[in-house]
């Protein structure tokens, strides 16, 4: 299976549409959303194309192909609108024996992991992309498709057969690691 992992949409329908175009072009099988879906949060400005209702409609159309976790800007009222679960703090996806921890990053991240064994941890929250491998699991911070920070471009990642790739939302490959 091929996964597209995105984080920190923050209500921007045009940014989501760019990610979904990549999803379709690359023939991905599952969309993994790692939080902060509809709300832009008090620390951010207004995102380009703010349209939470449009995002709800677009994502609900493909709800059967989405797994998601809760971000710090997601609320129970968001769950009432979305037709796929978003309230888990983390998910464990096992693909061909590889254990992938999916979380938003505000509770669990490279410095604070939940108990268990993982081959890779994927998160967002900081809006700063990272793909690194040390002595523990591979760390993949997805950055943000809407509000990248630190002079970074908007980014997301894919996972397929042990290969993690971070891309700009225009499809340019930034880095890859095989686990």
The residue among 98, 76, 73 whose CA lies nearest residue 87 is 76
Instruction: State the pLDDT confidence band at 41, using cuts at 50, 70 and 90.
Output: confident
Please say if the pLDDT value at position 42 is more than 90. Answer: no
Q: How far is CA 131 from each of CA 71, 79, 148, 176, rounded to the nearest angstrom?
A: 20, 30, 15, 7
Q: How far is CA 149 from each of CA 8, 62, 127, 169, 175, rounded to the nearest angstrom?
A: 12, 29, 5, 14, 18
Q: How far is CA 153 from each of CA 44, 143, 147, 149, rounded to the nearest angstrom?
A: 16, 9, 9, 8
Strand ranges inside the chain, DSSP E = 2-6, 30-33, 66-68, 90-95, 98-103, 120-123, 130-132, 138-141, 155-160, 163-168, 173-178
Q: Which structure tokens are listed for 67?
A: 């797994």
Q: Where are the alpha helices (DSSP H) in 11-85?
A: 13-25, 52-60, 76-81
Domains, the chain: 2-178 (3.60.21.10)
Instruction: State the pLDDT confidence band at 72, using cuts at 50, 70 and 90.
Output: very high
Mean pLDDT of the chain: 97
Q: What tens digit of pLDDT does each residue of 76-108 get?
A: 999 999 999 999 999 999 999 999 999 999 999
């Amino acid at each position: 299976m091929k996964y597209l992992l995105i984080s920190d949409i923050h209500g921007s329908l045009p940014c989501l549409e760019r990610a979904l175009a990549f999803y379709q072009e690359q023939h991905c099988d599952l969309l993994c959303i790692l939080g902060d879906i509809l709300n832009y949060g008090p620390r951010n400005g207004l995102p380009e194309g703010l349209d939470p209702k449009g995002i709800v409609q677009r994502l609900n159309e493909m709800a059967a192909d989405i797994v998601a976790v809760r971000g710090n800007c997601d609320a129970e009222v968001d769950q009432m609108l979305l037709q796929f679960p978003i309230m888990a703090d983390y998910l464990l996806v096992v693909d061909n024996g590889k254990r992938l921890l999916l979380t938003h990053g505000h509770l669990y991240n490279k410095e604070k992991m939940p108990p268990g064994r993982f081959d890779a941890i994927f998160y967002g929250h900081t809006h700063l992309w990272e793909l690194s491998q040390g002595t523990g699991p591979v760390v993949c911070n997805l950055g943000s498709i809407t509000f990248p920070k630190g002079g970074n471009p908007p980014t997301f990642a894919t996972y397929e057969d042990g290969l993690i790739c971070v891309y700009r939302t225009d499809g340019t490959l930034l880095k890859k690691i095989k686990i």
